[in-house]
Amino acid sequence: MKIAIASGKGGTGKTTLSTNLAHFLATSERVVLADLDVEEPNSGLFIRGELQLREDKFKQIPNWLKEECTLCGNCQKVCNFHAIIKLGKQIMVFPELCHSCFACSELCPAKALPMLPQKMGELKHFILAGIDFIESKLDIGQEQAVPLIAQTWEYVDAHFGNDRIKLFDSPPGTSCPVIEATKNADLVILITEPTPFGLHDLKLAVETMRELKKNFAVVINRFGIGNDDVIDYCGQEGIEILAKLPNDRRIAELYSRGELIYPKIPAFKAELQKIADYVLRLQIRSSK
Amino acid sequence: MKEIVVISGKGGTGKTSITASFALLGEKNVIVADCDVDAADMHLLLQPDWHFSEEFFSGVAAEIDQGKCIKCGKCANVCRFHAIPVIDKKYVINNLNCEGCGYCYQICPRDAITMVEQNVGKWFVSNIKTGSKMVHARLRSGADNSGKLVAKVKNEARKIAEKNGVGWILVDGSPGIGCPVVSSLSGADLVVLVTEPSVSGLHDLERVYELTKKFHLPSGCIINKADINPEVVGKIKTFLQKENITHLADLPYDETFTKAMTFGKTIIESGESEIKNTLQQIWKKINNLLTDEREKS
């Protein structure tokens, strides 16, 4: 069972929901939580544990061998990303633009561009009672999140079976990193706020999920501020609202200190229970 | 011409609400560029008239002409993105996975593959309620190349500013530390960081500033919702001092921002308030920071 927690707008509570839900579910289930917001991963500030493994993650970049090169310029010609150019008698590679497609390397007639791994970030695997927590972090200066997100999914798929509930804290927005984070999920939970910004970005996220043909449902966070437009929209579109997490200054304070919410705020816990029940029902259905 | 870019690293810190307030304060002297093209919300506060729009093409994706295809499978073999599955005994392109690298196009022995330009969104120029103009965009869901659309929005804003003799461009930047942010920052004269005193806010601020530093720009920081956690506010201030970032102001945790937003308004239009005064002071400080910079250079 793979559940991605996503949102169009940033700061609507993806990490709050991911970490609290993981912790809450872990009282009865074996849970994996993976933080795929590799540009700004925050789950680790709320879920700590014992470090099990730390590994560097690489992407493949062409490496110019001057002695072999005939300066034919084919590499520049085949690269659609302007990541490799011929400048006088030099070939220059721009790793941050490279998509690791291997075209320049494998189509080089002189074999002067072998692909070599270059570090783009790191993955950490923590263990605490009932939860395996995987956190990937992109190095500053790396511009592409997608390869690291893909490798993190691969890590989770390789290490954990279908008996686990796997939660994926996704990046914000609706562009390529979100697609990569959600495309293999069985369920996407879209978390939003009942405000005009929240509604606008929810509509974009819904459009994206429909294009991906994903099974998705909505959680409203900070319920009580703003207006009823998000509820009306979900009603019109036939989108299930799993829970309405309350708006409460104390939640913002707990969050600001890196604490979990549900152990201290009963109204939050009651709503979290609804999401957990939904997830568990799906889990039973999918394992049958 | 001077360019002010507002970024936050973390979402939900109030970046757009604050930027829109500055647009109101700057009136006709400021062209607004909404570069948060992934989740562009600025238009909800500035009521644009969507005066001009144009489709935006960027990047390519592969297409296979089934009539020419001899099913040799070379394309699928070289594709590193699992973008050419076999469906109903035909090699087809999975558009979501295709990165547009063109390796398949290069390797196909029958020229059965073409690379087709992709429509990734739309960009707009609008008259807004401040009496000025705004350039904004909408990225197609799931589209790649948001960095290029950001660059387009900024370039168009520059052109309009030049043409109309407007001195300032105010940019609502993208979240994260990836290519859209890099695109938002390039060519800027001043960076305004909006953060909140939470462990996540501080963590994301540190990361996005590490990126910002590479641009060697003068920077200022606004701590929003400052009364939520005085301890983290202290840590943020220590960080600002260490990095020589101007601390512009603290704003309180206040739901008035949200209430104003519900009516499509900024806090500047919602009567006199302490927050409004503070925002006016911040805007003055930003003016001064830019003027200082001009004198230096």
Q: How far is CA A261 from the centre of its chain?
A: 22
Residues A97/A99/A104/A105 CA torsion (nearest 10 deg): 120
Instruction: Identify whether residues B253 and B163 lie together within a single domain.
Output: yes
Instruction: Identify whether residues B81 and B209 lie together within a single domain.
Output: no
Read off the pLDDT of each residue in B258-273 and give the average, rounded to a whole number.
Answer: 93
Best mutation target among B41, B45, B46, B101 (most A Cβ atoms within 10 Å) is: B101
State the pLDDT at residue B38: 85
Instruction: Identify whether residues B184 and B136 lie together within a single domain.
Output: yes
State the pLDDT at residue B294: 59
Q: Is residue B93 part of a domain?
A: yes
State the pLDDT at residue B292: 75
State the pLDDT at residue A39: 92
Instruction: Identify whether residues B104 and B242 lie together within a single domain.
Output: no
Q: Do B211 and A141 touch (CB under 8 A)?
A: yes
End-to-end CA distance of chain A: 12
A252 vs B: CB within 8 A: yes
Which residue would you say has higher pLDDT here, A143 or B232? B232
Q: Is residue B165 part of a domain?
A: yes
CATH number at residue B69: 3.30.70.20
Instruction: Identify whether residues B103 and B242 lie together within a single domain.
Output: no
Q: Is residue B221 part of a domain?
A: yes
CATH number at residue B269: 3.40.50.300
Q: With bands split at pLDDT 50, 70 and 90, how would you rate the model's confidence at B295?
A: low
Q: Is residue B268 part of a domain?
A: yes
**What is the distance between the alpha carbons of residues A2 and A282, in angstroms, rounded to a whole number?**
10
B297: pLDDT strictly greater than 60: no
Q: Is residue B52 part of a domain?
A: no
Find, in chain B, the residue whose alpha carbon is nearest to that of A98: B101
Instruction: Identify whether residues B140 and B27 lie together within a single domain.
Output: yes
Find, in chain B, the residue whose alpha carbon is nearest to that of A9: B39
A169 vs B: CB within 8 A: no
Find, in chain B, the residue whose alpha carbon is nearest to that of A105: B103
Q: With bands split at pLDDT 50, 70 and 90, how would you rate the model's confidence at B291?
A: confident
Q: With bands split at pLDDT 50, 70 and 90, how would you rate the model's confidence at A143?
A: confident
The C-alpha of B261 sits at a distance from chain A's nearest C-alpha, in angstroms, of 7
Instruction: Identify whether residues B153 and B241 lie together within a single domain.
Output: yes
Read off the pLDDT of each residue in B19-41 and give the average, rounded to a whole number.
Answer: 95
Among the three residues B99, B119, B139, which one is the final residue of a domain in this structure? B119
Q: Is residue B162 part of a domain?
A: yes
Q: Name chain B contacts of A138, Cβ cutoff 8 Å.
A: 177-178
Q: Do B10 and A99 touch (CB under 8 A)?
A: no
**A218-258 confidence digits (pLDDT tens):** 999 999 999 999 999 999 999 999 999 999 999 999 999 99
**What is the distance between the alpha carbons of residues B79 and A81, in angstroms, rounded to a whole number?**
16
Q: Is residue B53 part of a domain?
A: no
Segments forming the whole domain that contains residue B86 = 58-119
**A124-133 confidence digits (pLDDT tens):** 999 998 999 9
**A80-113 confidence digits (pLDDT tens):** 999 999 999 999 999 988 999 999 999 999 999 9
**What is the distance between the alpha carbons of residues B209 and B159, in angstroms, rounded to a whole number?**
28
- Count of domains for chain B: 2
The C-alpha of B80 sits at a distance from chain A's nearest C-alpha, in angstroms, of 6
Instruction: Identify whether residues B18 and B70 lie together within a single domain.
Output: no
**B60-72 confidence digits (pLDDT tens):** 999 999 999 999 9
Read off the pLDDT of each residue in A55-62 and give the average, rounded to a whole number.
Answer: 97
Instruction: Identify whether residues B64 and B41 lie together within a single domain.
Output: no
% chain A with pLDDT above 90: 90
Read off the pLDDT of each residue in B163-172 and give the average, rounded to a whole number.
Answer: 96
Instruction: Identify whether residues B282 and B211 lie together within a single domain.
Output: yes
Q: Name chain A contacts of B211, Cβ cutoff 8 Å.
A: 140-141
Q: Do A174 and B176 touch (CB under 8 A)?
A: no
A224 vs B: CB within 8 A: no
Angle of the B274-296 helix axis to the B15-26 helix axis, nearest 10: 70
Interface confidence (ipTM) of the complex: 0.91
Among the three residues B119, B138, B162, which one is the final residue of a domain in this structure? B119
B293: pLDDT strictly greater than 70: no
Instruction: Identify whether residues B80 and B213 lie together within a single domain.
Output: no
A156: pLDDT strictly greater than 70: yes
Q: Is residue B66 part of a domain?
A: yes
Tokens, residue A3: 């559940």
B145: pLDDT strictly greater than 80: no
Among the three residues B119, B154, B170, which one is the final residue of a domain in this structure? B119
Instruction: Identify whether residues B263 and B292 lie together within a single domain.
Output: yes
